[in-house]
A and B are shown apart, each in its own frame.
Chain A
Amino acid sequence: MTSPVFEHPALTSAAARLAALRTAAGRIGAPDPVAALRHLDCSPSAISASASAVDAGASLMTSASAEFRNGVEQGETGGSAETFGIWADTVDGQYAAAARAAAATAELGVRIASELDALATSASAEVSALADTASAAVAAVLADDRSPEVVSTVSTTCTAVVRTVSAKIASLSSLLAELEPLTVPAVELS
C-alpha cells in the first residue's frame, strides 16, 4: 500500500511509520491514526514566503516614512502653512503606527510558520514513538490475534495518536490571540 503524502515531510514519514498501526486499527475498528495526522498537515515554507513578502512591505513602509519626513521638513522650510504642519504631524504618527504593525505582522508570520513546523515535527516524532511501542500488539492483530490485551493496546495507541494531534492543534490558540490585534488597520485618518 502506498503511504499517504503530506505537505509536511515529517508527517509523510510519520504516516509511513504508522502504516501497520493504521491497518491494525482498521481491522479492530479503532480510530485511524493517519487520518488524525491530516489535521496537523501544513506548509510552513509557504507561510514563511508570505511573511517574507510582508517583511519586504514593512521595509518599504519604513522607507516611505523617512521620505515623508524629509518631504515635510522641506515643505516647512519652503514656507508651508501651519495647517500643513499639523496635518503632516498626524500623518507622520500614522506612518509610525503602520510601520510598527507591518513589522509585527511579518515577525508573527515567521513565528506562525516556525510554530506549525515545530508542531508537525514534534507530533511526528511522538506518534512514531507511540507506534513503535505498540508494534508487537500491531503484529499480533495483523496475524489475526484478537486477544483483549493486543486489541486494547492497538486501540489505546490509536487514541493516544489522536490526542497527541489534538493537543498540538490546541496550542495554536496563543498564536490566534497574538494575531487578533493585527487584523485591523493601524492607520486611522479621517
Chain B
Amino acid sequence: MPEGRGSRLGSDIPELRVGGSAARNPLKKGGEVSSAGGFATRNAPKAPDRLRTAADLLDQAAAADDKAAGQFAEARVDSTPFGISPQARELAARWASALAAREADARVLGDATSDLAGRLRMAAESTRSSGFRGRIAVAP
C-alpha cells in the first residue's frame, strides 16, 4: 500500500482496491476473477461507472487547465507599460517570462490530467467488458 493518497483507499469494494485480490491475481481473467470472491461478481458493475465518473472529473480539471493557460496568454502585455529604462525593460521581460512559465505549467498539467482521464476510461472499458479490473499503466 503506498503512502499518501494510496493509503486513503478505503474502498467499499475491497477486491477492487489497490492491493485487493484482483490486483494480486493479475493473471486471472474474466470469470476467473469472480471465483476469487463473491464481491467481485456482485460489485464489479460499480467500478466502471466510478472510473468513468473519475475520468469525467479529470476531464473537467483538464478543461480548467486549458482555460487557465488561455488566461495566462491573455495576460501578455508589451514592454511599453513598464517604461523605457533598462530596468523597466528587464522587468517587462521577466514579467513576460513569468506569464509564459504559468502558461506552460497549466498546459503540462492539462496534458497529464487528460492522459490520466484517458487511462481511467480504458480501465473502465476493460472492467466493463471483462469484469476484470485491468491495471492502469500511468507512468509517463
Taking Cβ atoms with an 8 Å cutoff, the residues of A that contact B are: 7, 38-44, 46-47, 49-51, 53-54, 56-58, 60-61, 63-65, 67-68, 70-89, 91-92, 94-95, 97-98, 101-102, 105, 108-109, 112, 116, 169-170, 172-173, 175-176, 179-180, 182-187, 189-190
Instruction: Place the interface of chain B in its size category.
Output: 35 or more
A93 to chain B, nearest CB (A): 9
Of all chain A residues, the one with the shortest Cβ separation from B62 is: A64
Query: Taking the complex as formed, is B94 at the interface, i.e. its CB lies under 8 A from any CB of chain A?
Result: yes
Chain B residues with CB under 8 Å of A98's CB are 102, 105-106, 109
For this complex, 14 residue pairs linking A to B, each with C-beta atoms less than 8 Å apart, are: A39-B83, A60-B68, A71-B54, A71-B58, A74-B57, A76-B9, A76-B18, A78-B50, A89-B6, A94-B105, A94-B109, A98-B102, A185-B105, A189-B112
Q: Is the interface of A mostly helix, strand, loop or mixed?
A: helix
Of all chain A residues, the one with the shortest Cβ separation from B78 is: A46
- For B51, give its contact among A56, A60, A78 (CB under 8 Å): A78
- For A84, give its contact among B60, B72, B138 (CB under 8 Å): B138
Chain B residues with CB under 8 Å of A40's CB are 83, 85
Chain B residues with CB under 8 Å of A109's CB are 75, 95
Query: A82 to B17, alpha carbons, bound, how many Å?
Result: 9
Of all chain A residues, the one with the shortest Cβ separation from B68 is: A60
Of all chain A residues, the one with the shortest Cβ separation from B56 is: A71
Are B54 and A54 within 8 A (Cβ)? no
Are A67 and B64 within 8 A (Cβ)? yes
> Assuming the A-B contacts A61-B64, A82-B18, are A72 and B88 also in contact, with contact meaning beta carbons closer than 8 angstroms in the complex?
no
> Assuming the A-B contacts A64-B113, A79-B50, are A50 and B98 also in contact, with contact meaning beta carbons closer than 8 angstroms in the complex?
no
Which chain B residues numbered 30 to 75 have a C-beta less than 8 Å away from chain A?
46-51, 53-58, 60-62, 64-65, 67-72, 74-75
